[in-house]
């Protein structure tokens, strides 16, 4: 079953790190990605640009509304994700616990609901 691991963190946290600390943090993500690949469970993943680069789209009464910047006023923002395919929720949670983002933010785990499923 596919699960989306969504990494929520304070984007300013990475900017506050010294160069060596930032390099170590990014290396941890590289190692985690390689572990997912070697286990054969990685289906995709990416780091996201900061929320100030986002545009939120809504349609109300047939009119399209656009909102620049972050939609939610919160310090922690969605910063990236991994799409994994594992046997069950317990396996997904185990991978989420290994994610570097779990140690400085939060990793939200959600089962994917395929649009082909009823």
Residue 10 lies in a domain: yes
Domain that holds residue 28: 2-111
Residue 28 lies in a domain: yes
Residue 78 lies in a domain: yes
Residue 85 lies in a domain: yes
Look-up: residue for tokens 């570097």? 100
DSSP-H helix ranges across the chain:
11-16, 19-39, 89-98
Residue 118 lies in a domain: no
Residue 61 lies in a domain: yes
Percent of all residues in the chain with a pLDDT value above 70, rounded to a whole number? 93
Q: Which residues contact 99 (CB under 8 A, 6 or more apart)?
A: 5, 7, 32, 82, 107
Whether pLDDT at 70 is above 70: no
Residue 116 lies in a domain: no
- According to the model, what pLDDT value does residue 115 have? 84
Model confidence over 12-65: pLDDT tens digits? 777 788 888 888 988 999 999 999 999 999 999 999 988 888 888 889 999 999
Task: Please name which of 74, 73, 56 lies closest in space to residue 65, comparing C-alpha atoms.
Answer: 56
**φ and ψ at residue 117, rounded to 5 degrees:** -85, 150
CATH of the domain at 37: 3.30.70.1060
Number of domains in the chain: 1
Whether pLDDT at 117 is above 90: no
Residue 15 lies in a domain: yes
């Amino acid at each position: 079953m596919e699960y989306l691991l969504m990494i929520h963190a304070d984007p300013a946290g990475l900017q506050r790190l010294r160069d060596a600390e930032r390099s170590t943090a990014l290396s941890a993500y590289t190692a985690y990605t390689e572990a997912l690949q070697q286990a054969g469970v990685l289906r995709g993943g990416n780091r996201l640009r900061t929320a100030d680069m986002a545009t939120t789209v809504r349609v109300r009464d047939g009119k399209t509304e656009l909102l620049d910047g972050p939609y939610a006023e919160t310090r922690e923002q969605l910063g990236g994700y991994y799409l994994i395919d594992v046997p069950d929720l317990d396996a997904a949670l185990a991978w989420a616990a290994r994610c570097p983002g779990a140690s400085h933010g939060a990793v939200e785990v959600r089962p994917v609901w395929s649009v082909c499923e009823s």
